[in-house]
A and B are shown apart, each in its own frame.
Chain A
Amino acid sequence: MKLISSTKAILGVAFFTSLLVLNVASAAPPDAAAGKVKAQTCFACHGENGISVSPDIPNLAAQPPLSITYQLIQFRGQQRKGGAMEALAAGLSDQDMRDIAAYYSALPPPPAQSGNADLIAKGQQISSTQYCNSCHGPQLQGQKHIARLAGQSPEYLIAQLKNIRSGARVDMDGTMGSAARGLSDGDIEALAAYAASLK
């Protein structure tokens, strides 16, 4: 009897604790539906389905949500430059960014892109020696705040890797800077072809 009531008490406490936890965590949950509304401006370039309209613009579909949020925060803070993106991000709140990220991250990933088989094989080899999957994941699908590279536009990847190599794009902690330093133009093209070929 006593056992049952104390069990009940424990369950009750556990229930309320979990409610509290939920309350705290859900003070501002990322909202994909709200994100879709807020992302209307993004559609013209990044597509409603997260597949971009032009090869020099990145696909956002299935990007890890934190990766999108982090890039938007860096555009807003002028730490990353990217055409119109600084101005577009300037008016977004953290919550807007989380919502937009929730929308794009939930979309089906971009299709794998075919390419020159030799180039793809070379890219896979370089990806392995450069430890790309240490951060970007085994299939370069991204994780946490690290971008998804699988199915990304190769033209975009080439431009970004060259910018990182030259220092024109400063990455957050220097990891990509040191990774890109030793890459030749040919290496970069191969890596981009390989990443684009993944799903």
Chain B
Amino acid sequence: MKLKTIHAVMFAAGVVVTALASAQAPAPAPASGIPPTWAQGRTADGMNPSLAPNPPGISAMPADEIPTSKLKVPAGFKIELWASGMPNGRSMTESPSGTVYVGTRFTGNVYAVVTKDGKREVKTIAKGLHRPNGVAFSNGSLYVAELSRIIRYDNIEQNLDNPPAPVVVFDALPKDEPHGWKFMTLSPDGKYLYFQIGTPANIVVPPYTHAAIVRLNLKTNILEYVATGVRNSVGMDFQKGTKELWFTNNGRDWADENLPNDTLNRLARPKGMNFGYPFCHQGDFLDPEFGKGRSCEEFDKPEMNLGAHVAALGMRFYNGNMFPAEYKGNIFIAEHGSWNKTKKSGYQVVRVVLDSKNKPVKLEPFVTGWLDGENFWGRPVDVQMLKDGSMLVSDDETGAIFRVSYGK
């Protein structure tokens, strides 16, 4: 009896040793490959199989070729080409002195747009970074979110022509390429950088490190999770007054041409909210595969559905004084535009109106015209309100930024 137990223990130990030994050996090649991230979740009996992502914009269209006159805004508003020549220019932030910094996903550059005597000059202040999509400005420093680290350029405003080497702030983020690029914003108290860690696939039960919104304490350098079950948020902003974080979220692909919706969400509690990915999407759509045995009632719900596959990215509240009074407190969202849908949708900037109870009640197009039938010539990525009350819209297809103003 005793001997048997010893044998059993030895056997178990042997198994452990074997397992450890194989863990040390180089990882064997997987028996079969996994589809590219974008095709993951595609089923033989599902949607139009010829759908594939749009080629990313990696060059800049010359200023005189950009068809700005095709862009339409509501009566009384005006849209103009504000700056160009920034291949793949995406997320934006404005410094107190009025410099607009622009991150990229594919070209590895960061741009600074300075206005002098009413004219814009574009400076490339960083090159060769790895997916420097996120930008935020604080205390004279530009923070850049690369794929797996946060870096900082100190005293950047005085050194735009000769930027200093960046200081590495935090470099322990996941290295997954899919949904690895970051949108980043500074908290109203200036203490935290908020950004997302997207899911590493289209639809998968992600590691607990992923499909989340996190914040980095700039003083202690501690990273903490503020929301989970968020597939990939590439736009967020704090609401003035409530100081609550609102964010967009991109829905999964290949489930249906018209489902699930991309969503607009609110962080009603500072920590612990779970928005459902991969089990439940848009608050009421159980995942065809991962939703089995689950209920949407387990999860927090979005504030508003924005449409399927529209690629809702950058969003900002309008707190300025230039637009008419009814625009105050509205949310503007840049829709990069669909690929996983036979008839294209998105490719516009939309306006979301909140009622007196702070609930979104109206969604309507605000800037349109990038889409011409089924062809697009530009793709809006981010919106940024300037101090003068006007709004910038970045477009990574043309490498340009447009400005929307009202009156005069």
**CB-CB under 8 A for A182 and B30, given A70-B55, A77-B107, A77-B108:** yes
B interface size (C-beta, 8 A): 34
Q: What chain A residues lie within 8 Å of B377 (beta carbons)?
A: 24
Expressed in whole angstroms, the Cα–Cα distance for A179 and B40 within the complex equals: 13
**Distance between B49 CB and nearest chain A CB, rounded to angstroms:** 9
Is B407's CB within 8 Å of the partner chain A?
A: no
Interfacial residues of chain B within 326-369, with CB under 8 A of chain A in the complex? none
Expressed in whole angstroms, the Cα–Cα distance for A143 and B53 within the complex equals: 11
Is B67's CB within 8 Å of the partner chain A?
A: yes
- In the complex, the answer to whether B37 meets A94 with C-beta atoms within 8 Å is no
B36 touches which one: A24, A28, A131 (CB < 8 A)?
Answer: A131
**CB-CB under 8 A for A178 and B55, given A24-B67, A129-B33, A134-B35:** no
**Distance between A57 CB and nearest chain B CB, rounded to angstroms:** 23
Q: What chain B residues lie within 8 Å of A144 (beta carbons)?
A: 52, 54-55
Fill in one digit per residue for B24-49: 1 if any A CB lies within 8 Å of its CB, else 0: 00000110111111110000000000
**Distance between A128 CB and nearest chain B CB, rounded to angstroms:** 9
Expressed in whole angstroms, the Cα–Cα distance for A21 and B64 within the complex equals: 15
- In the complex, the answer to whether B37 meets A175 with C-beta atoms within 8 Å is yes
- In the complex, the answer to whether B39 meets A173 with C-beta atoms within 8 Å is no
Expressed in whole angstroms, the Cα–Cα distance for A131 and B33 within the complex equals: 7
B177 touches which one: A27, A174, A184 (CB < 8 A)?
Answer: A174
**Distance between B120 CB and nearest chain A CB, rounded to angstroms:** 20
Q: What chain A residues lie within 8 Å of B32 (beta carbons)?
A: 129-130
Q: What chain B residues lie within 8 Å of A131 (beta carbons)?
A: 33-36, 39
Q: What chain A residues lie within 8 Å of B64 (beta carbons)?
A: 27
Q: What chain B residues lie within 8 Å of A184 (beta carbons)?
A: 29
Expressed in whole angstroms, the Cα–Cα distance for A1 and B203 within the complex equals: 59
Expressed in whole angstroms, the Cα–Cα distance for A187 and B28 within the complex equals: 13
Closest A residue to B30 by beta carbon equals: A182
**Distance between A28 CB and nearest chain B CB, rounded to angstroms:** 6
Closest A residue to B39 by beta carbon equals: A134
Expressed in whole angstroms, the Cα–Cα distance for A179 and B177 within the complex equals: 12
Is A88's CB within 8 Å of the partner chain B?
A: no
**Distance between B260 CB and nearest chain A CB, rounded to angstroms:** 22
Expressed in whole angstroms, the Cα–Cα distance for A145 and B58 within the complex equals: 11
**Distance between A173 CB and nearest chain B CB, rounded to angstroms:** 6
Q: What chain B residues lie within 8 Å of A21 (beta carbons)?
A: 372
Is B180's CB within 8 Å of the partner chain A?
A: yes
**Distance between A100 CB and nearest chain B CB, rounded to angstroms:** 14
Interface centre among A77, A79, A126, A135 (most CB of B within 10 A): A77
Q: What chain B residues lie within 8 Å of A187 (beta carbons)?
A: 29
**Distance between B217 CB and nearest chain A CB, rounded to angstroms:** 29
- In the complex, the answer to whether A173 meets B55 with C-beta atoms within 8 Å is no
Closest B residue to A95 by beta carbon equals: B62
**Distance between B133 CB and nearest chain A CB, rounded to angstroms:** 12
Expressed in whole angstroms, the Cα–Cα distance for A17 and B34 within the complex equals: 46
Q: What chain B residues lie within 8 Å of A34 (beta carbons)?
A: none
A73 touches which one: B59, B67, B180 (CB < 8 A)?
Answer: B59
Is A183's CB within 8 Å of the partner chain B?
A: yes
- In the complex, the answer to whether B33 meets A130 with C-beta atoms within 8 Å is yes
- In the complex, the answer to whether B58 meets A27 with C-beta atoms within 8 Å is no
**Distance between B173 CB and nearest chain A CB, rounded to angstroms:** 15
Q: What chain A residues lie within 8 Å of B178 (beta carbons)?
A: 174, 178
Q: What chain B residues lie within 8 Å of A130 (beta carbons)?
A: 32-33
Is A139's CB within 8 Å of the partner chain B?
A: no
Is B192's CB within 8 Å of the partner chain A?
A: no
**CB-CB under 8 A for A78 and B56, given A28-B65, A172-B106, A179-B33:** no
Q: What chain A residues lie within 8 Å of B128 (beta carbons)?
A: 78-79
**Distance between A179 CB and nearest chain B CB, rounded to angstroms:** 6
Residue ranges of A at the interface with B (Cβ–Cβ < 8 Å): 21, 24, 27-28, 66, 69-70, 73-74, 77-79, 94, 126, 129-131, 134-135, 143-145, 172-175, 177-179, 182-184, 187
Nearest 8 CB-CB pairings of A with B: A174-B177, A130-B33, A145-B55, A129-B32, A131-B35, A27-B65, A134-B39, A182-B29
21 A-B residue pairs with Cβ-Cβ distance under 8 Å, sorted by A, are A21-B372, A24-B65, A66-B55, A69-B59, A70-B58, A74-B58, A77-B107, A79-B108, A94-B59, A130-B32, A131-B33, A135-B52, A172-B106, A173-B56, A173-B106, A173-B177, A174-B176, A174-B178, A175-B36, A178-B34, A187-B29
Q: Give 20 new A-B contacts, CB below 8 A, not counting A131-B33, A178-B37.
A: A27-B64, A70-B55, A73-B58, A73-B87, A77-B107, A79-B107, A94-B62, A129-B33, A130-B33, A135-B36, A144-B52, A145-B56, A172-B56, A172-B58, A172-B106, A174-B180, A175-B36, A178-B34, A182-B33, A183-B29
